[in-house]
Amino acid sequence: MNMNRRSFLQSTSAALLATSSFRLVGADSPARRHRTALVGCGWWGGNILAAAMASGACEIVALCDVDRRFLKRTDERVRKETRDAPKLFGDYREMLAQVKPDICIVATPDHWHPLIMIAAVQAGAHVYVEKPISHTILEGRAMVRAARAASRVVQVGTHRRASPHNLSAREFVRSGKVGKIGMVRAFVNYGGGPETPKPHTQPPPELDWDLWCGPAPKRPFNGNPNNPWGSGIHPRGFRHFLDYANGTLGDWGIHWLDQILWITGEQAPTFVSSLGGRPVKGPAILNDKEQTSDAPDHQIAQYKFTDFDVSWEHRLFAGHNAEKGENVGCYFFGTEGTLHLGWQKGWTFYPTNDKQATIHEDAKLDEPDGQNIRTLWTNFLDCIRTGNKPISDIEDIHRSTNCALLGMLSLKLGRSIAWDAAKYECTGDVAANQLLRRAYRGDWKYPEI
Ligand SMILES: NC(=O)c1ccc[n+]([C@@H]2O[C@H](COP(=O)([O-])OP(=O)(O)OC[C@H]3O[C@@H](n4cnc5c(N)ncnc54)[C@H](O)[C@@H]3O)[C@@H](O)[C@H]2O)c1
Q: In this predicted model, what pLDDT tens digit does every residue of 243-254 receive, in sequence order? A: 999 999 999 999
**117 and 224 both lie in a single domain:** no
How many distinct structural domains can be found in the chain? 2
- The answer to whether the beta carbons of residues 373 and 366 sit under 8 Å apart is yes
Ligand 1 pocket residue status of 256, Cβ below 6 Å? no
> Is residue 449 assigned to a domain?
no
- Please indicate, yes or no, whether residues 323 and 378 belong to a single structural domain of this protein: no
Asked if residue 260 and residue 133 are part of one domain, the reply reads: no
Q: In this structure, are 408 and 299 located in the same domain?
A: yes
Domain check: are 83 and 169 in the same one? no
Q: Is 42 in the pocket of ligand 1 (CB under 6 A)?
A: yes
**Which of the listed residues 65, 221, 392 should we mutate to test ligand 1's pocket, taking the one with most ligand atoms within 8 A of CB?**
65
Q: Do 25 and 74 lie in a common domain?
A: yes
Do 84 and 218 lie in a common domain? no
Write the residue with the smallest CA distance to atom 39 of ligand 1.
Answer: 42
Q: How many angstroms separate the Cα of 45 from the Cα of each of 17, 40, 70, 83, 236?
A: 23, 6, 10, 19, 11
Mean pLDDT of the 241-270 span: 98
Kindly state whether residue 443 falls inside one of the protein's structural domains.
Answer: no
Q: How far is the CA of 248 from the centre of ligand 1 (A)?
A: 15
For residue 442, is it within any domain? no
140 lines ligand 1 (CB under 6 A): no
> How many whole angstroms from 182 Cα to the centroid of ligand 1?
36
Together in a domain, 241 and 127: no
The confidence score (pLDDT) of residue 231 equals 87
pLDDT at 322: 77
Q: Work out the percent of the chain whose per-residue pLDDT is above 90.
A: 89
Residue 111 is assigned to a structural domain of this protein: yes
What atom in ligand 1 is closest to the CA of residue 211? 31
At 74 the three-state DSSP class reads helix
* Residue 441 included in any domain: no
Task: Report the separation in Å between the CA atom of 106 and the middle of ligand 1, taken as the mean of its atom positions.
Answer: 8
**Residues 417, 302 share a domain:** yes
Is 270 in a helix, a strand, or coil?
A: coil
pLDDT tens column, 211-243 = 999 999 999 999 998 888 888 999 999 999 999
In the reported structure, the alpha carbon of residue 203 is separated from the centroid of ligand 1 by a whole-number distance in angstroms of 17
In a domain, 58, yes or no: yes
**For ligand 1, what atom is nearest to the CA of residue 46?**
16
Quick one: 273 and 263 in the same domain?
A: yes
Residue nearest to ligand 1 atom 31, measured at CA? 212
Kindly tell me if the per-residue pLDDT of 111 is higher than 60.
yes
| Pair 177, 251 in one domain | yes
Closest CA to 197 of 323, 134, 283: 283
Residue 286 lies in a domain: yes
DSSP conformation letters of 86-143: -EEES-HHHHHHHH--SEEEE-S-GGGHHHHHHHHHHTT-EEEEPSS--SSHHHHHHH
Among 278, 207, 249, 274, smallest CA distance to 110 is for 249
Tell me the pLDDT tens digit for each residue of 333-373: 999 999 999 999 999 999 999 999 999 999 999 999 999 99
- Give residue-wise pLDDT tens across range 43-84: 999 999 999 999 999 999 999 999 999 999 999 999 999 999
Q: Is residue 360 part of a domain?
A: yes
Mean pLDDT for 265-284 is 98
**Which residue among 39, 64, 66, 208 is best mutated to probe the pocket of ligand 1, counting the most ligand atoms within 8 A of its Cβ?**
66
CATH of the domain at 294: 3.30.360.10
Q: Is-contact 359 338, C-beta < 8 A? A: no
Q: How many CB atoms lie within 10 A of CB 68?
A: 17
Distance from Cα 109 to the centre of ligand 1, integer Å: 4
CATH number of the structural domain spanning residue 29: 3.40.50.720
Range of the domain at 282: 163-368+399-434
For ligand 1, is residue 392 a contact (CB within 6 Å)?
no
Place 150 in a pLDDT band, splitting at 50, 70 and 90. very high
User: Does the pLDDT value for residue 18 go beyond 50?
Assistant: no
Are residues 404 and 290 located together in one domain of the fold?
yes
